Amino acid sequence: MSSNNKQVAVVTGSSSGIGLEASIQLARSGFLTYATMRNLEKQNVVHLTNEQEALSIRTVQLDVTDDKSVNKAIQSILSEAGRIDVLVNNAGFAVTGAFEDVALDEVKTQYETNVYGVIRTTQAVLPIMRKQRSGRIINISSGAGIFGYPGGSTYVSSKFAIEGLTECMSYELEQFGIKAILVEPGVIKTNFGSGMVLAKKAQDPKSPYSQLMQMMSSVVVKLYEGAPGAELVGKAVVEAATNPNPKLRYLVGKDVEQLAAAKKSMSDEQFQGLMKQAVS
């Protein structure tokens, strides 16, 4: 094992967006950062930034949906760096469409990355952190892990799962000096929106939900126009990784802060009325 004296961070889904920004900002904060991604052909931006700023970022192939890929990557990092102090579970995407229009296979694909990917990678890292008696598991959730909205049942439910998973882990891992933390961004200006997958049935203009989905699409476009960049989430990740007493949850963005506050202060019926008004 290496005698590396830097703390070591591993970030999934680091080829762009939040994962890329989190990797860069962690490296700027002094971490030896492993920016992992499914397709290493997308590592150019990472390498360019690494060279320009003389950072400590290394790229590793890791597909969160593949057991062998995850275990190989984590063992490779451990062998090279000697430790893993922070895991940022960021890899994810969104399937959109009214619930009735989403096929079971599409739901399974969503969960394979957003839920089982987090489980798979975290379970590979936890024995290492437990042996160290220290570590941070930072799960990138979403405002969609706090409240639902039309057309989001598949993605939203995957994020609700991550919220519950992280809360439970936080109790279990505390005795080993490991913190489980949620970062909950609102709408962030990345390529996440363009990577959304519209369910096949939802693409049919004859769908009984077609008008609702068109309305939601126009709402999303407007939200992205004024959205902050991924650097805001990167800052929250660094705070979660370095604060001696991190919070369980970090809300990121005024939109999600306002909606989360409204959900706390309103009855379910009042909050649903607010959401209906927002998407109409």
Catalytic residue ranges:
155
What whole-number distance in Å separates Cα of residue 87 and Cα of residue 108? 24
* Strand duo 95-96 + 86-89: pairing: unpaired
Helix (H) or strand (E) holding 36: strand 32-37
Residue 252 backbone phi and psi in degrees, to 5: -130, 110
Half-sphere exposure of residue 149: CA atoms within 13 angstroms, side-chain side? 25
What whole-number distance in Å separates Cα of residue 264 and Cα of residue 150? 20
Residues 6+ apart with CB under 8 A from 245: none
Kindly tell me the burial class for residue 231, based on how many C-beta atoms sit within 10 Å of its own C-beta (0-12, 13-18, 19 or more).
middle
Coil vs helix vs strand at 37: strand
Cα torsion at 161, 163, 164, 165 (round to 10°)? 80
Least Cα distance to 248 among 91, 139, 146 occurs for 139
What is the maximum span of the chain, computed from C-alpha positions, in angstroms? Answer: 62
Kindly tell me the burial class for residue 77, based on how many C-beta atoms sit within 10 Å of its own C-beta (0-12, 13-18, 19 or more).
buried
Half-sphere exposure of residue 116: CA atoms within 13 angstroms, side-chain side? 11
